């Protein structure tokens, strides 16, 4: 038996999956690391934490499984997009990586919209927003000139770790699409967009396919992890692209609902849709795309709630399950770091409204789950208003999909059936992608047929869907009332 490894770097943890060539998960391991919030609106991660996590994760996979490292055919890394690592010529880190949830670059976005809106939309298929790398890098240029003057290389999260593994500098075209420095029309770096930033286009990484060979494990990486020197390392890609693939969504019209750090609803299409409310990315399969909508703080909201008010998720779910639909009038808006669809407004703030003396912690717990689902309904409605055709069911992915309560609330709010695969996280998808690159699977559909297994089907409760439709109208009115206030309050 031979094996494949996928390693993901998420919002708060790295997960590694060891997959056999028969399509079975042999072992997994997860290591958490922090996101730092040094100032209001800031979010940063330390790239050295990522490398520490992958060393522990891969060593743990080998120990747990008892396999020989010689039987590992290929390794694939992935991470959340938009997360740039700035280094000097020798690839020494110059500052913490600005995470995509960071909203410090509001002024830079306003400038880009005023001066370059048409160019950016025409070239990068999106409008400037704080989630994109271009305005983040402009902030560094304008506020940390001593750092910017030393910046000679721009890597993205998974590409930096892969550089440490292989000594090779490259990225994939899906990751590049998240930078706002990439031309969707030519599928290459845009000199015009790089000129806005004032960065030499020649110093950006070469762009290859996610399944292409990026290098092999070096002697140092082998010593750090237990892998064999010379093991194939493929380019890999972004986390959502691999989750969409792992869930089985490889055909036009299929839809995914993601409950992760951010929440996403994506539809598989054969073309991108240029719309200010959509995030357009290529699918890992040639000729396909997965345009989608997004709520910025999904599982991030529940994690914030857990960390701030205590108890583990299971206990929070148990309490929330005993509260009736609508949390007895308590409504949560998950705008902890602003919001994407349909507002694209980094100034929005999170809120609990309708608090009464009879509300308990269980009410607040359920309100968080419902509030995120209501934000996802905003996302679904936007897709339908744009007119993107999709199936009447969806694959549910992301860490939040492991909660039966949250799955049911989401199905009820959206009014659609949600299918959960046994494994659909991005590290699993990365291992599948590694299998395609190694010749184990004969393409994407073959990998799905051999690896993806549906284990639960959550159907919406029609009565609950009607109740949530009424609650959603109040949810929208609260946003409309509070948004102007948040624009007045600058903190």
Q: Is the pTM of this model over 0.85?
A: yes
* CB neighbour class for 168 (10 Å; exposed up to 12, middle 13-18, buried from 19): middle
Half-sphere exposure of 35 (CA within 13 A, CB side): 23
pLDDT score recorded for residue 51? 97
pLDDT score recorded for residue 276? 81
For 107, residues 6+ apart whose C-beta sits below 8 A from its C-beta are none
pLDDT score recorded for residue 491? 61
CATH class of 3-240: alpha beta
pLDDT score recorded for residue 489? 81
Judge contact between 236 and 162, C-beta under 8 A. yes
Half-sphere exposure of 338 (CA within 13 A, CB side): 24
Q: Beta 213-216 vs 25-32: how paired, if at all? A: unpaired
Tell me the mean pLDDT per 10 residues along the chain, length 491.
96 94 97 94 96 98 98 97 96 97 94 97 94 97 98 97 98 97 97 98 97 98 98 97 96 96 95 89 96 95 95 96 98 95 93 98 98 98 94 94 97 98 96 98 97 97 98 98 91 61
**Cα–Cα dist 29/56, whole Å:** 9
Q: Boundaries of CATH 3.30.420.40 in the chain? A: 3-240, 249-423+461-491
For 236, residues 6+ apart whose C-beta sits below 8 A from its C-beta are 76, 77, 78, 158, 162, 172, 210, 214, 242, 430, 433
pLDDT score recorded for residue 310? 87
Q: Which CATH number fits domain 249-423+461-491: 3.30.420.40, 3.40.50.460, 3.90.1300.10, 3.30.342.10?
A: 3.30.420.40
Q: DSSP alpha helices (H): ranges in 97-218?
A: 106-124, 133-143, 145-148, 157-166, 173-177, 191-197
pLDDT score recorded for residue 376? 98
pLDDT score recorded for residue 261? 87
pLDDT score recorded for residue 490? 67
For 53, the 3-state DSSP assignment is helix
Judge contact between 59 and 69, C-beta under 8 A. no
**Cα 164-165-166 angle, rounded to 5 deg:** 100
């Amino acid at each position: 038996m031979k094996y494949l490894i996928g390693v993901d770097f998420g919002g708060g943890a790295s997960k590694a999956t060891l997959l056999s060539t028969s399509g079975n998960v042999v072992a997994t391991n997860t290591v958490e690391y922090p996101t730092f919030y040094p100032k209001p609106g800031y979010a940063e991660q330390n790239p050295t934490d990522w490398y520490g996590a992958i060393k522990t994760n891969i060593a743990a996979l080998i120990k747990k499984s008892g396999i020989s490292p010689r039987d590992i055919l290929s390794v694939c890394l992935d991470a959340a997009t938009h997360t740039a690592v700035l280094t000097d010529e020798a690839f020494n880190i110059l500052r913490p990586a600005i995470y995509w949830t960071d909203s410090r670059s509001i002024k830079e976005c306003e400038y880009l919209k005023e001066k370059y809106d048409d160019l950016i939309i025409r070239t990068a298929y999106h409008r400037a927003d704080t989630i994109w790398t271009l305005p983040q890098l402009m902030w560094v240029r304008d506020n940390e000139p001593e750092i910017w003057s030393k910046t000679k290389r721009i890597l993205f999260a998974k590409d930096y770790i892969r550089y440490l593994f292989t000594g090779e500098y490259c990225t994939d075209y899906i990751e590049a699409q998240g930078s706002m420095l990439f031309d969707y029309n030519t599928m290459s770096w845009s000199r015009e967009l790089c000129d806005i930033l004032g960065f030499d286009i020649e110093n950006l990484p070469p762009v290859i396919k996610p399944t292409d060979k990026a290098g092999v494990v070096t002697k140092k990486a082998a010593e750090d992890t237990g892998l064999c020197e010379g093991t194939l390392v493929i380019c890999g890609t972004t986390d959502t692209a691999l989750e969409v693939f792992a869930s089985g969504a490889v055909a036009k019209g299929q839809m995914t609902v993601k409950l992760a750090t951010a929440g996403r609803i994506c539809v598989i299409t054969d073309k991108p849709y240029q719309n200010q409310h959509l995030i357009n990315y290529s699918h890992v399969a040639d000729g396909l795309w997965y345009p989608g909508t997004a709520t910025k703080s999904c599982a991030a909201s529940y994690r914030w709630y857990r960390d701030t008010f205590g108890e583990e998720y299971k206990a929070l779910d148990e309490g929330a399950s005993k509260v009736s639909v609508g949390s007895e009038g308590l409504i949560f808006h998950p705008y902890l770091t602003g919001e994407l669809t349909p507002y694209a407004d980094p100034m929005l703030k999170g809120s609990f409204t309708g608090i009464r003396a009879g509300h308990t912690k269980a009410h607040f717990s359920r309100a968080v789950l419902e509030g995120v689902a209501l934000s996802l309904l905003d996302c679904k409605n936007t897709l339908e208003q744009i007119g993107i055709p999709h199936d009447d069911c969806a694959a549910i992915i992301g860490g939040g999909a492991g909660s039966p309560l949250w799955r049911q609330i989401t199905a009820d709010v959206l009014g659609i059936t949600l299918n959960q695969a046994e494994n659909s996280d991005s590290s699993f998808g990365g291992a599948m992608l590694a299998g395609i690159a190694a010749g184990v699977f004969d393409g994407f559909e073959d990998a799905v047929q051999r690896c993806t297994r549906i284990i639960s089907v959550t159907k919406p409760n029609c009565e609950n869907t009607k109740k949530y439709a009424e609650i959603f109208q109040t949810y929208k009115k609260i946003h409309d009332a509070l948004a102007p206030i948040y624009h007045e309050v600058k903190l």
